[in-house]
A and B are shown apart, each in its own frame.
Chain A
Amino acid sequence: MSEEHAHIVPYKTFAIVWIGLLILTGITITVAQYDFGAWNVWVALGIAVIKSGLVVAVFMHMKYESRLFKLSLFAALLILAVFIGLNFFDVLYR
């Protein structure tokens, strides 16, 4: 029963992550005012990836889960990457 329950995450950890997420949102909005040419999308995506990493790791407890959970998340993201990558092989060289 309770022995398989993951440990309890303290309130403070969640609050710190939340503040971090708000700061990153502010950064996204601020950097969007500057034009980095073709890099605009990658800058926006990079910050979004950091934000989603925080949400998945702490809010969704992935940091405290077993290897099974982490490997399956990796597999799902790999499938998504392959799916997007292979489509671009077709779209870009058509």
Chain B
Amino acid sequence: MSDHVHKDYTGAKFGMWLFLFTEVLLFGGLFLLYAVYLARYPQEFISAGKELNVWFGGGNTMVLLTSSLFVAISITALRRGAKRLCLGLLSGTIACAVIFMINKYFEWSAKIHHGIYPGSAHLKEMQPGEMVFFNLYYLTTGLHGLHVIIGALLLVWAMFLIKSDRVNADDFVILENAGLYWHLVDLIWIFVFPLYYLILH
């Protein structure tokens, strides 16, 4: 049995979770900033938050929740031997990631068109609390968007491995870990959406 490769399935998954905890603390820092400035500038956060479009935020929430469902089901499909269904679902997830980023592009473009972006002259004329709100909005949704792109690339990589049967019904931890990363992207958005788009509407 010289070709036996030792695989530590639990270890691989636990390692991914440890990494996700550091991600939670990274975004936790941004939510902490949000909380501190919300306590300091409650009125400015209300007026600035009204500028954000609930439809963009709400639509993207639906897109991400659905993409998470596809990833979750794809793992079950792979383990039941339904490889084509698994690949189809993962393609659906990547399509959701693309839709999310297109929405984000239009949303950011509209804001930037109105002169609302970090360091803009218009932003400097606003109340300090509104300026903080929009800077945090760009930082948080920007970092989140980067995670959407990385998560989608990880899933594309997993799809290639599934196609060539290097990830299969018995050895699927790469898909599971890529899926965990994708669910984290969804989790962060579950908090971003109400705090930035809905607060005190």
**B177 CB, min distance to chain A CBs, angstroms:** 11
Known contacts A60-B180, A72-B18, A91 near B198 by CB under 8 Å: no
Contacts between the two chains (Cβ within 8 Å), count: 120
Asked if B130 is at the interface of the complex by the 8 Å CB criterion, the answer is no
Residues of A within 8 A of B170 (CB): 1-2
Which of the listed residues A29, A33, A91 has the most CB atoms from chain B within 10 Å of its own CB? Answer: A29
B21's partner among A28, A66, A72, A91 (CB-CB below 8 A) is A72
With A32-B194, A80-B28 known as contacts, the answer to whether A58 contacts B72 (CB < 8 A) is yes
- Point out the residues of chain B lying under 8 angstroms from A91, CB to CB: 36, 39-40
Q: Are A52 and B14 in contact (CB under 8 A)?
A: no
Residues from chain B with Cβ under 8 Å of A41 in the complex: 38, 195, 199
Say whether B183 contacts A59, CB under 8 Å: yes
Q: Contacting A28 at CB < 8 Å: which of B18, B40, B187, B194?
A: B194
Given contacts A80-B28, A83-B25, contact A22 B72 (CB under 8 A): no
Q: Return the CB mask of A25-55 against B: 1 if under 8 Å, else 0.
A: 1001100110100001100110110011001
Task: With A41-B38, A44-B198, A59-B72 as known contacts, state yes or no: A83 contacts B32, CB within 8 Å.
Answer: yes
Interface-facing stretch out of B73-81, B111-119, B142-150: B73-81
B135, CB-defined interface residue at 8 Å = no
Tell me, in angstroms, the Cα distance from A58 to B71 when the chains sit together: 12
* Nearest CB on A from B121, distance (A): 30
Min Cβ gap A64→B in Å is: 11
Which residue of B has the minimal Cβ distance to A47?
A: B194
Using Cβ atoms and an 8 Å threshold, which residues of chain A touch B32? Answer: 83-84, 87
Q: Which residues of A contact B (CB under 8 A)?
A: 1-2, 4-5, 8-11, 14-15, 17-18, 21-22, 25, 28-29, 32-33, 35, 40-41, 44-45, 47-48, 51-52, 55-56, 58-61, 66, 68-69, 72-73, 76-77, 79-80, 83-84, 87-88, 91-92
26 A-B Cβ contacts within 8 A?
Answer: A5-B9, A5-B79, A9-B76, A11-B76, A14-B69, A18-B69, A21-B65, A22-B62, A25-B65, A28-B198, A29-B54, A29-B58, A29-B198, A32-B200, A45-B195, A47-B194, A52-B187, A52-B190, A55-B68, A56-B183, A60-B180, A61-B176, A66-B10, A72-B18, A87-B32, A91-B36
Besides A14-B73, A15-B69, 17 more A-B contacts (Cβ < 8 Å) are A11-B73, A25-B65, A28-B193, A28-B198, A29-B198, A47-B194, A48-B194, A51-B190, A52-B187, A55-B183, A55-B186, A59-B71, A73-B17, A80-B25, A84-B31, A87-B32, A88-B39
